Amino acid sequence: MLSLIIPTQASSSKLLPTPNRKRSRPWFSTLDPTRLTPSDFCNISGKSYVKPFREYHGDIPFPLHYSRMAKFPAGTQGFFYYALPFRGSGPDEHGEVRFRVTPGDDVMDFAAGQDLLVPNGLPWRVALGRIALHKTCDDASAMLLRDKLVTKETLAAIRDGTFKYQRSPNRRLVRGIGQPFSVDLSTRQWLLNIVSGAEVRQLRTMNPFWHSAGVTRGRIMCCFEHHPQDLPKRIKGSSARLVIRVLKTVDPIMPLMPSPPECAMDRPAEGALLTKAGDPYFWSVSSSKALRLLVAGSEQKAPVASVSEAPRKELSF
């Protein structure tokens, strides 16, 4: 189950230097989780930002932040690694650098560790596009190429603009039915970027929990699904509907001001669909080009994996 990682104190008797001490850059020899060694272990607890990459002709090393000026949580120690794209992703869909929290520098603990998450419940990450386009990240690009985690063609396509990437680390691209994303119940609108192939469309939809006379606070991790009453033959048609399933409550849900009864949504429950008066709340696919793109893209690939799924070594670009 996806949960916010509050890293614990390391149990290893041999901890490597922390970022506030002198340490040669780059801090790691590989981003391949199958090639890690104890020397790749990093402790970034309590840091506002870290700079694991080398300078490039005098340029300041590429800084990595946690989330909106917040420091990395206490006990944030483990390994930087490259998470490959979801199974079923297309050649235009890239992986990302994540941080796996482990109790110490024993690489055997990697599989049992958990990815560091940002406050909205999504994995902390550095998009491949940021690495490909930042000249002080040449070390990381070279590692990814050497370990066959990316190809020269992929990096070149990002650099010349053929492939697009998501610049914000906290606003995720949604590439298929079933892919998790988070939403804030207190905002008036929900904004998502829907991607299929090289096409990107922004989905801007009203938050059903927002009302001028009512305020609900909270954040949930969720995903789109086809409406349970839609038969397979209707799913591809203009009458197709999408619903949202709640995967996890990230921030506690608190109705600060109740909405009028005729407008009120049912309280979200983990594992259940969003409902209103007991009926699934749905979005009509025909009403949105972004939703049509989402459905069309999902029909062309396998189901999207969970954000907590382990990286898949067998995938290639």
- Residue 257 CA to residue 233 CA, distance in Å, equals 42
Which phi and psi angles does 204 have, rounded to 5°? -115, 110
pLDDT tens string 203-262: 989 999 887 766 788 888 899 999 988 865 555 555 789 999 999 888 788 876 766 777
With a cut of 80, say whether residue 57 has pLDDT above it: no
3-state secondary structure of 202: strand
- Confidence bin at 170 (pLDDT 50/70/90): very low
| pLDDT greater at residue 293 or residue 311 | 293
**pLDDT value of residue 106:** 94
User: In this predicted structure, which of 74-78, 93-97, 175-179, 243-247 has the lowest mean pLDDT?
Assistant: 93-97
- Residue 46 CA to residue 73 CA, distance in Å, equals 6
pLDDT tens string 107-145: 999 999 999 988 767 788 888 888 887 766 777 888 899
| pTM for the whole structure | 0.58
- Residue 288 CA to residue 175 CA, distance in Å, equals 15
Q: Are the CB atoms for 159 and 132 separated by under 8 Å?
A: yes
Give CA separation, 253 vs 188, 215, 234, in Å.
16, 11, 34
**What is the chain's mean pLDDT, rounded?**
76
Please list, residue by residue across 64-75, b when 16 or more beta carbons sit within 10 angstroms of its beta carbon and e when fewer do: bbbbeeeebbeb
How large is the average pLDDT for residues 18-42?
A: 80
Identify the CA nearest to 290 among candidates 183, 118, 175: 175
